[in-house]
Chain A
Amino acid sequence: MDASLIGAPPRRPSAARRLLPYLLSLPALLVCIGILVPFFTAVYYSLQRFRLSQPWNRGMNWGENYLAFFSDPGFWNTLEVSLVYTGLTVGIELVLGLSIALLLQRRTRLNNAISILLLLPLMTAPALAALMWKLMTNPNFGIFSYFATVLGFEDFRWGSSPDSALFTVVLVDVWVYTPFMMILLLAGLRSLPQQPFEAAALDGVPRLVQFWRITLPMLTPHILTATLFRMLESIQQFDIIYAMTQGGPGDTLMVFQVEAYLDFFQSTNVGRSAALLLILWAITFFLSNVFIKNWLRLRERAGGEA
């Protein structure tokens, strides 16, 4: 060390250097503002009696919009439909996605080609996929209506009947999003360490037992991640349902996003629309927390075991 520097006062960093941390965090700050401003605006609107067509009636009602939901059967129907839709789509897509991923687990050229081909539905915009399915299920000329008739389901009305509307939109969702589950789980499967499987094979452990006792526990963090992503998207479903039935027939498919959209753009009821969306946010926040906590717990356990 240079002796002349000993005891010298530390050199003041230049202005640019002092500003650097703030400059580096500026993008994050801007993004944060971009998210928080609309969020708190929505909170503010949700606490108001605010209908664009009745500006003279606008005023704070301090949570009346939320209280009104308790006595509104339409809201409970929306909650139920949203949760059922989410449960069904995520559940089916998980089982199908995992099954396909297991089939494609071995790295062969054929499996790689198939996994790429299976991704094609995911590249279709969901609204377009819904319109495509709407045509394919048209009772006059739809190919699926024809198959339904051949299979003995005369006059099967797909999205037009309350009995089959949920089945129809779930089918479209599964078609679009199963590849998403498949690709995440396939990546997870292929990243698993091989030693436990080799040891189990040497010990003659049956494949099914290997799956339940080794594959599934080791894959659980990936399953949780994939399920969380899909669940968040599914509970906020809009395009498939709106494009196919606009939430009908009746209120059969009236999920949160469709109802909030109609409340705003058709009824211009900003207060109710904002309150609905904040409840949806609260549900997704709660579910995300549950999933993330479990995911962290599993990771810690995996770290401890290692």
Chain B
Amino acid sequence: MYDKEKDLIDAFLRGQMDRRALLRGLGALGVTASTAGVLLNSAATRAMAADFDWQRHAGTGVKLLLNKHPYTDAMVANLDSFKELTGMEVEYDVFPEDVYFDKVTAALSSRSSEYDAFMTGAYMTWTYGPAGWITDLNEWIGDPDKTNPAYAWDDMLEGVKASCAWNGRPGGELGSPDAKQWCIPWGYEQNNLSYNAEMLERIGAEPPRTMAELVEVAAKATKDLDGVYGIGVRGSRSWATIHPGFLSGYANFGEKDLNVGGDGRLSAAMATDGSKAFHRQWVEMIRNSGAADWSSHTWYQVGTDLGAGKSAMIYDADILGYFMNGGGNAMAGKLAYAPFAPNPGTEAPTPNIWIWSLSMSEFSRNKDAAWYFLQWASGPEHGLFGARQMDFVNPVRKSVWADEMFRERIASNYPGYVDMHDVSAPGASIKFTAQPLFFDLTTEWASSLQKMVAGEVGVDEGLDQLAASVDRQLKDAGLG
């Protein structure tokens, strides 16, 4: 690198110059914006190496188990920086999401030491943690000898960070002082409203702000737009149907999945009047304005239908709306975003979140080296690289969200996205009760929802049956 460019970037990294001045300066030296990004990343790698012995595990290596995802793509694109920084080798296996978690379960339950670290969701750690398959990362985060001083753990968004920590007690509060850090947040999704701005304009509707408005606008879109249905939400017989828009809306009305008694016993909380009212509204919305094949819709169908112009809105992961607004999607450039608080009595959205995180296998033979990878992959430099140059959204670090280059890029291409995030982030966290029967109970909840939408059972009766079944299962497992 030429000295002048190097001096400019070093000054920027020391905080002596803002981003505009840096870009102006580099521009004057004939450096394009994309080259500037590469130079900046390279300089950041050098800066990281300055205060910490990144070479301690040089010559060793780690093996990762990864899900096919844009976060993985961003990491792979920047992997040479890690190798250069640490002198370590990185091997990885990437699997599509349909089979990914089966691979993780198979690897961990067989106590295989093949993989040192892997991608996971926070919900999965409620199984992996108590089973003794993953490591409590507090030991590494709090060790100044093993963790770069610039790692800035407190830079992580609070709700996201807390959602990855659980004390292992069924019903225990996430992020409590005695919680174990089962995973490190990597990238996350809030559940909000993504909509086709052109379609809503065509039918003369504003983006809905409450549940009642959502039902109304979705019905109007279904009626007025030929071949389009109003609202895309998930419906497959899976726990994944419950956690996005459904639980976000449900939680916004103050409803819960489970009650935690004073004695720590758990009981079903989905047969309340408030819950029944919400379910009735949700079921009606799907019947009137959902996809005809709703009961088979996973995130994939929800996203692609929005991208293909088959649906007018989705109440699902914000990054689904993000990705559908680019690439070769028919509706690219026509989508917009809105924070969504379905309960008119609340001020702000309270989205449930999905967090793609990184965990360390308890069976890894090289945990210190694995931690080096984890802290690099979840560190501020890689977060910034991914956010600025790749599709590593949503970042989990406050500093990345504050980055002007990232905000400008998003704001110019994804109208309303940054505002939606900023408004929703304070209330964004996992709204489920952490407990080991999570997948059983939420899958059954999804199954009940399918029966209600199909008219096999009434909403009130279905919820009473669900609550009875949940209570029975909790009791059988010694939790209720």
Say whether, besides A55-B130, A249-B450, A134 and B296 are in contact (CB < 8 Å).
yes
**Alpha-carbon separation in the docked complex, A40 to B476 (Å):** 25
Residue in A57, A245, A250 whose beta carbon sits within 8 Å of that of B478 in the complex? A57
Q: Interface on chain A toward B: helix, strand, loop, or mixed SS?
A: loop
**Alpha-carbon separation in the docked complex, A157 to B439 (Å):** 27
Query: Min CB distance, B464 to chain A, in Å?
Result: 14
Asked if B436 and A54 make an inter-chain contact with CB atoms under 8 angstroms apart, the answer reads: yes
Asked if B437 and A248 make an inter-chain contact with CB atoms under 8 angstroms apart, the answer reads: no
B175 within 8 A of A: no
A246 within 8 A of B: yes
A91 within 8 A of B: no
Asked if A248 and B237 make an inter-chain contact with CB atoms under 8 angstroms apart, the answer reads: yes
Residues of B near A68 (CB, < 8 A) are 476
**Alpha-carbon separation in the docked complex, A142 to B105 (Å):** 35
**Alpha-carbon separation in the docked complex, A174 to B251 (Å):** 45
Residue in A56, A134, A249, A266 whose beta carbon sits within 8 Å of that of B451 in the complex? A249
Query: Min CB distance, B286 to chain A, in Å?
Result: 11
Residue in B294, B295, B436, B447 whose beta carbon sits within 8 Å of that of A51 in the complex? B436
Say whether, besides A52-B131, A57-B478, A245-B237, A269 and B293 are in contact (CB < 8 Å).
no
Asked if A262 and B443 make an inter-chain contact with CB atoms under 8 angstroms apart, the answer reads: yes
Query: Min CB distance, A86 to chain B, in Å?
Result: 21
In this complex, what residue of A is CB-closest to B126? A53
Q: Interface on chain B toward A: helix, strand, loop, or mixed SS?
A: helix
Say whether, besides A55-B132, A250-B456, A265-B105, A159 and B296 are in contact (CB < 8 Å).
yes
Asked if B436 and A53 make an inter-chain contact with CB atoms under 8 angstroms apart, the answer reads: yes
**Alpha-carbon separation in the docked complex, A140 to B290 (Å):** 12
Asked if A53 and B131 make an inter-chain contact with CB atoms under 8 angstroms apart, the answer reads: yes
Asked if A268 and B456 make an inter-chain contact with CB atoms under 8 angstroms apart, the answer reads: no
Asked if B293 and A157 make an inter-chain contact with CB atoms under 8 angstroms apart, the answer reads: yes
Interface centre among B105, B227, B447 (most CB of A within 10 A): B447
Residues of A near B305 (CB, < 8 A) are 140
Residue in A245, A247, A267 whose beta carbon sits within 8 Å of that of B439 in the complex? A267
B112 within 8 A of A: no
**Alpha-carbon separation in the docked complex, A51 to B130 (Å):** 11
Asked if A266 and B237 make an inter-chain contact with CB atoms under 8 angstroms apart, the answer reads: no
Asked if A267 and B131 make an inter-chain contact with CB atoms under 8 angstroms apart, the answer reads: no
Query: Min CB distance, B167 to chain A, in Å?
Result: 15
Residue in B101, B102, B236, B440 whose beta carbon sits within 8 Å of that of A267 in the complex? B440
A121 within 8 A of B: no
**Alpha-carbon separation in the docked complex, A138 to B301 (Å):** 11
Within 8 A of A (CB), among B443-480: 443, 447-448, 450-451, 453-454, 456, 476-478
Asked if A158 and B131 make an inter-chain contact with CB atoms under 8 angstroms apart, the answer reads: no
Chain B 238-256, CB-CB to A under 8 Å as 1, else 0, gives: 1100000000000000000
**Alpha-carbon separation in the docked complex, A99 to B305 (Å):** 42
Asked if A246 and B451 make an inter-chain contact with CB atoms under 8 angstroms apart, the answer reads: no
Residues of A near B109 (CB, < 8 A) are 52, 268
In this complex, what residue of B is CB-closest to A159? B296
Chain B 414-453, CB-CB to A under 8 Å as 1, else 0, gives: 0000000000000000000000110110010001101101
Asked if A55 and B131 make an inter-chain contact with CB atoms under 8 angstroms apart, the answer reads: yes
Within 8 A of B (CB), among A230-277: 244-251, 262, 265-269
**Alpha-carbon separation in the docked complex, A161 to B286 (Å):** 13
A162 within 8 A of B: yes
**Alpha-carbon separation in the docked complex, A137 to B227 (Å):** 16
Query: Min CB distance, A60 to chain B, in Å?
Result: 16
Say whether, besides A157-B292, A250-B450, A53 and B237 are in contact (CB < 8 Å).
no
Residues of B near A161 (CB, < 8 A) are 295, 454
Asked if A53 and B293 make an inter-chain contact with CB atoms under 8 angstroms apart, the answer reads: no
Asked if B127 and A53 make an inter-chain contact with CB atoms under 8 angstroms apart, the answer reads: yes
A288 within 8 A of B: no
Residues of A near B382 (CB, < 8 A) are none
Say whether, besides A52-B127, A54-B436, A139-B293, A268 and B450 are in contact (CB < 8 Å).
no
Asked if B294 and A268 make an inter-chain contact with CB atoms under 8 angstroms apart, the answer reads: no
Chain B 275-296, CB-CB to A under 8 Å as 1, else 0, gives: 0000000000000000111111
Say whether, besides A51-B436, A140-B310, A162 and B293 are in contact (CB < 8 Å).
no
Interface centre among A51, A53, A54, A245 (most CB of B within 10 A): A53
Residues of A near B227 (CB, < 8 A) are 140
Interface centre among A56, A160, A246 (most CB of B within 10 A): A160
**Alpha-carbon separation in the docked complex, A3 to B49 (Å):** 95
Residues of A near B295 (CB, < 8 A) are 159-161, 245, 248-249
Residues of B near A244 (CB, < 8 A) are 296
Query: Min CB distance, B141 to chain A, in Å?
Result: 24
Residues of A near B451 (CB, < 8 A) are 162, 249-251
A155 within 8 A of B: yes
**Alpha-carbon separation in the docked complex, A163 to B295 (Å):** 13
Say whether, besides A157-B293, A161-B454, A246 and B130 are in contact (CB < 8 Å).
no
Asked if A249 and B130 make an inter-chain contact with CB atoms under 8 angstroms apart, the answer reads: no
Say whether, besides A51-B477, A139-B292, A250 and B131 are in contact (CB < 8 Å).
no
In this complex, what residue of B is CB-closest to A270? B109
Query: Min CB distance, B452 to chain A, in Å?
Result: 9
9 additional A-B pairs beyond A52-B127, A244-B296, A268-B105, beta carbons within 8 Å, are A51-B477, A54-B478, A139-B292, A140-B292, A249-B451, A250-B450, A250-B454, A267-B439, A268-B127
**Residue contacts A-B, CB under 8 angstroms, 13 given:** A51-B477, A52-B109, A53-B436, A139-B291, A140-B227, A160-B292, A160-B294, A248-B296, A249-B454, A266-B239, A266-B443, A267-B437, A268-B127
Of all A-B residue pairs in the complex, the 4 with the closest CB atoms, nearest first, are: A248-B237, A139-B292, A53-B436, A250-B451
